[in-house]
Amino acid sequence: MGVPGPPPALHGGRLRVLTCLLLLTATLNAANIPVSPDCGRPQQLNRVVGGEDSLDGQWPWVVSIRKNGTHHCAGSLLTSRWVVTAAHCFKGYVNQPSLFSVLLGAWQLGNPGSRSRQVGIAWALPHPRYSWMEGARADIALVRLEHPIQYSERILPICLPDSSVRLPPNTNCWIAGWGSIHDGVPLALPQTLQKLKVPIIDSEVCSRLYWRGAGQEAITEDMLCAGYLEGERDACLGDSGGPLMCQVDGAWLLVGIISWGEGCAERNRPGVYTSLLAHRSWVQRVVQGVQLRGHSGGSGASKRS
């Protein structure tokens, strides 16, 4: 007498289980983010004054730097271990990293979601030339996270500009942040990340606007100006340290860091940014693995809308 085989339904059940496992494995593999993904390329998911809501996952390198658990400044993720921001964000507290943390992968600060990550700060390293005075040159700091973070579709690094990048006046770039929507008016809940397109302003024009007299240059060689001379649209309190981003050959480059200005969105007082073109070599010396991108033709940033 032959040994009866298992009931047909059991074969079908095993097949269904195996099929589900294979599909699950394929889905997980497709969702995996490389240890070193391409910088500056969001994997799209389906208050800046005068800005508008960004899309979820549109700027996956923008982080919230928190002081005592509250949003304090913004920053940009360079690698799995390093964030860049404005040095003035740590004025008076540079030797107290335990007061700070970094929230990554959040779109709405009031509802950061389960896929966001909060990491402590090991230390903050201001540029050695920064003088801690308002509007000073070299307003840039590198922040070392307590441990490496895992990349995801909401947490990705941004590129730095290579030596081919040029930023002629009227080049359209973008800023993003969770700062005030008007002077003294905080971003309302759920505090959705704001974005604003800003054109680069000629450095000589900006120098004249901020002229303080002979020998008192307000706009130094490591600063960029961007925004609107008529005012109404600008970065504001709480946006400090956030990115000025330009897209070149399909990749987003961090060309500036929100640094200072007079008031928020005032006429003839555009935003002033610390230039990464000027400080790229310092960042490269400190941060291992930061990615550079530029124009494939070597002619720099093009004017994009």
Q: What backbone phi and psi angles, to 5 degrees, belong to 9?
A: -60, -35
CB proximity list for 4: less than 8 A, separation 6 or greater: none
pLDDT at 58 over 60: yes
**Tokens standing for 256?**
């500036």
**Predicted model pTM:** 0.82
Q: Is 20 helix (H, G, I), strand (E, B) or coil?
A: helix
Give the model's pLDDT for residue 236: 79
| pLDDT value, residue 217 | 73
Q: What is the pLDDT of residue 1?
A: 40
Q: How far apart are CA 107 and CA 116, in angstroms?
A: 9
What's the token pair of residue 29?
């593999």
Q: Are 287 and 82 in contact (CB under 8 A)?
A: yes
pLDDT in tens, 20-43: 433 434 333 334 566 778 899 987
For residues 196 and 246, give the distance between their C-alpha atoms in angstroms, rounded to a whole number.
Answer: 12
pLDDT digits (tens, 9 = 90+) for 210-235: 986 655 679 999 999 999 988 777 78
pLDDT at 237: 77
Place of tokens 């399909």: 250
Question: Per-residue pLDDT for 70 more than 50?
Answer: yes
Query: Average pLDDT over the chain, rounded to whole?
Result: 84
pLDDT score recorded for residue 47? 45
Tokens of 253: 């480059």
Fold matches, 59-145 and 160-278: yes
Structure tokens given for 214: 């002979």
For the chain, the domains span 59-145, 160-278
| Catalytic residue positions, numbered | 88, 139, 240
11 CB neighbour count, 10 Å cutoff: 11
Considering the domain 160-278, what is its CATH architecture? Beta Barrel (2.40)
**For residue 108, what is the DSSP state?**
B
Mean pLDDT calculated for residue range 86-109? 97
Backbone phi, psi, residue 127, to 5°: -60, 135
Higher-confidence position of 231 and 96: 96
Q: Which CATH number fits domain 59-145: 3.20.20.60, 3.90.79.10, 2.40.10.10, 2.60.40.10?
A: 2.40.10.10
Across-strand partners of 102?
65, 119
What residues have CB less than 8 Å from 131, skipping those under 6 apart? 137, 138
Least confident of 82-86, 102-106, 176-180, 215-219: 215-219
Per-residue pLDDT at 152 exceeds 80: yes
